[in-house]
Structure formats: C-alpha cells, structure tokens
C-alpha cells in the first residue's frame, strides 16, 4: 500500500527531526552554562579587584573564589625550581579535609617530571582537563589519594614567560566530571589572579 511505502520514510524523518531538536537543545544548554560560568568568573575577578589583598591573603582568597566558579574544591600551588608545591586548599564546608590535602602537597612536593599532566600544563602554558584520576599514573598520586578526585581542571598562573603557580579545581562534592567550559573559566580566572598577585607584590 501507499502507507507502507511512506511509513518507513516518515519514521526516518521523525527520528531526524528529534535528533536535530536534541542537538539544538544541548547546544543551547551548553551556551547558557558557558555564559553563566563567564559571569561567575567576572564576579570572582571583581572581588579580587575590590579586595586589594596582600600576597599572603591572596594565597587563601585565590582558591576560595574558585568555589564561586562552579567548583567545590580548589588548590593553589607554587612552582619553584621545577617543583610543584601546594600552598592552600579550599573545600566548601570541610576545612579539615582541605588542611589534610594541603599538608600532603607540602610534605610531598611534586617535581615536574616528564609525563606528568602538570608538566605539560607548565610546558604548554595551557589549562587542561584531567580524567580518570584514580587510575591515571600521570598525576600527583599522594594528592590524588588524599582528595579522592575523579577528574579535575588545572590552569597555569603565568608571570611574564614563566609559570609561577598552578590552580586546580574539581566538582567532587557535586559528583560531576569537570568539562571544557570549566577549563576555560579556570584559565580566565588564573590570569586575573596573576594580575592581582602582581599588584600585591608591587605594593609590598
């Protein structure tokens, strides 16, 4: 019959239309999410600008404001002579766990050896999303064990042509993996934090 000939094509068109709608909706959601993260980054940078903190205060405030960017945990670290050393850790509502992770990062500083993700971040001067943290051998294993992180974003803090620090953020408490949007947001915030650090250093 005519219907039997049309029916398969009709189903095909319906499926194509549904896929198009799903793709368009996903794209709109992603765009809204990215815009929201950009707004949050702007607010965090404005807070840095208005606070005019000292260097010592920035070490604490810097990772705390990462919590306003959609992350719930953050690590602020220095890079000194090719070694990555944790300086401050922020975890929403759990300062004791934050202190534990920070202590691990200070007691066991990580040389930036070949193969480590952070070595690539420093070499390329680019932020990166790291997944499968608990099984990946290219991470700072003591911090990975202490934090129980599943995925994270790390961004370089750059002064001139030199990476002087690292910012890490993840969404462990939310139970969601970090994304490319998170990576872009943390990278933008890291640049603003470096400006604040430079101003504070000059003032002191």
Q: How far apart are CA 147 and CA 138, in angstroms?
A: 16
Per-chain mean pLDDT for the chain:
83
Which pLDDT tens digit goes with each residue over 18-34?
555 544 454 554 455 45
- The answer to whether 138 touches 117, Cβ cutoff 8 Å, is yes
Question: Any idea how long the chain is?
Answer: 204
State residue 13 phi and psi, 5-degree precision. Answer: -65, -40
Residue 91: band (very low, low, confident or very high) from pLDDT cuts 50, 70, 90? very high
Which pLDDT tens digit goes with each residue over 152-164?
999 999 988 899 9
Q: How far apart are CA 105 and CA 195, in angstroms?
A: 25
The answer on pLDDT for 88 being more than 60 is yes
- The answer to whether 90 touches 67, Cβ cutoff 8 Å, is yes
Q: How far apart are CA 25 and CA 7, in angstroms?
A: 27
**Share in percent of the chain as helix, strand, coil (round to 5):** 55, 20, 25
Residue 8: band (very low, low, confident or very high) from pLDDT cuts 50, 70, 90? low
What is the three-state SS of 65-97?
HHCCCCCCEEEEEEEECCEEEEEEEEECCCHHH
State the pTM of this model.
Answer: 0.78
Region 39-62: what's the mean pLDDT? Answer: 70
Q: How far apart are CA 34 and CA 41, in angstroms?
A: 10
Single out the residue of 103, 100, 79 nearest to residue 91, CA to CA.
100
Query: Which range is least confidently modeled, 5-14, 49-58, 67-76, 117-126?
Result: 5-14
State residue 70 phi and psi, 5-degree precision. Answer: 100, -5
Region 53-73: what's the mean pLDDT? Answer: 88
Residue 1: band (very low, low, confident or very high) from pLDDT cuts 50, 70, 90? very low
Query: Which range is least confidently modeled, 39-43, 61-65, 106-110?
Result: 39-43
Identify the residue whose tokens are 């990975």: 144
Query: What are 61's strand-pairing partners?
Result: none
- The answer to whether 79 touches 99, Cβ cutoff 8 Å, is no
Residue 126: band (very low, low, confident or very high) from pLDDT cuts 50, 70, 90? very high
């Amino acid at each position: 019959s005519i219907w039997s000939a049309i029916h398969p094509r009709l189903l095909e068109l319906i499926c194509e239309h549904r896929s198009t709608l799903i793709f368009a909706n996903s794209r709109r959601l992603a765009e809204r999410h990215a815009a929201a993260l950009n707004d949050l980054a702007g607010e965090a940078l404005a807070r840095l600008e208005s606070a005019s903190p000292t260097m010592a205060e920035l070490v604490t405030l810097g990772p705390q404001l990462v919590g306003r960017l959609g992350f719930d945990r953050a690590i602020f670290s220095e890079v000194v002579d090719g070694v990555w050393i944790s300086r401050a850790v922020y975890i929403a509502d759990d300062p004791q766990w934050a202190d534990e992770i920070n202590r691990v990062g200070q007691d066991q500083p990580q040389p930036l050896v070949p193969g480590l993700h952070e070595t690539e971040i420093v070499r390329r001067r680019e932020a990166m999303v790291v997944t499968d943290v608990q099984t990946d051998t290219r991470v700072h294993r003591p911090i990975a064990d202490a934090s129980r992180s599943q995925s994270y974003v790390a961004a370089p803090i750059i002064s001139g042509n030199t990476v002087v620090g690292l910012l890490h953020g993840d969404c462990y408490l939310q139970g969601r993996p970090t994304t490319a949007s998170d990576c872009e947001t943390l990278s933008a915030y890291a640049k603003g934090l470096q400006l604040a650090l430079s101003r504070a250093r000059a003032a002191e």
